[in-house]
Amino acid sequence: MASDNAVEIRPLATRSEYEECVALQREVWGAAYSEIVPITVMEIAARVGGICIGAFRESGDLVGFVFGVTGPRDGALTHWSHMLALREGWRGRGLGTRLKFAQRESAAALGAHSIQWTFDPLVSRNAHFNLNRLGVSVVRYAPDMYGPSGSELHRLGTDRLVVRWDLAEEGGATAPAGDGAEVAIPSDIDALQRRDLDEALAWRAAIRRELGGLLGDGYQVVGFDRGGDFGRYLLVRAAASGPSGQADG
């Protein structure tokens, strides 16, 4: 397999490359996935401020991509990152980080002030990637955000954390002072789901209640501790927090 440094990160340029993006969506989310973004939508979005960036081997084969759209939000331009996908065997090797930073650079060049996206709060590796490596801030908890999709990856439903990556900031924001809290999740929800679907579904309900409840009560996620049998969201409630639940993705 080629080294990661030999992988080129660049915008998609041809229809055949967009076709590869659609094929990779089916590979990652499954043939029954009902929310495939079609070629024409990706192409048209890229012409009017959307971003579609691929990771290409020296052979020209696509091994990953990131796609999103750009538009006004609360008086400022923001980019919504809709999906990031990597081919099996290329995950956990830094390509996701390279794609996100390429997306960040492109969004900033368009004049966007932030990038927003979602991730599953039960997936420890994604919590670590987003909160610790990228330094995003959590906007809100969104129960069943995407509804049924037909994908085997969504058997536990589609509860999501909406997060924001501020493009003008370098490094994470200072954590507010106040009461602290922790919310634990399994270290590997995928393995748990394969072993005991009912237990995994019980974790979904618990996290919706506990993490969603704390966020709705004015707490902020300030970090994620990944280690052992459980990962832990670290939350702080500011001593003089304002009304909760006003932010929206």
What's the rounded Cα separation, in Å, for the pair 186 and 94? Answer: 23
Taken in order of first residue, the domains within the chain and their CATH numbers are 4-174 (3.40.630.30)
Mean pLDDT in order along the chain per 10 residues (249 residues):
76 96 92 88 95 96 97 93 94 93 97 96 95 96 80 76 88 62 95 93 96 96 92 86 40
Res 182: pLDDT = 97
What's the rounded Cα separation, in Å, for the pair 150 and 202? Answer: 21
Cα distances from 62 to residues 3, 76, 108, 122, 205, in angstroms, run 14, 33, 24, 28, 37
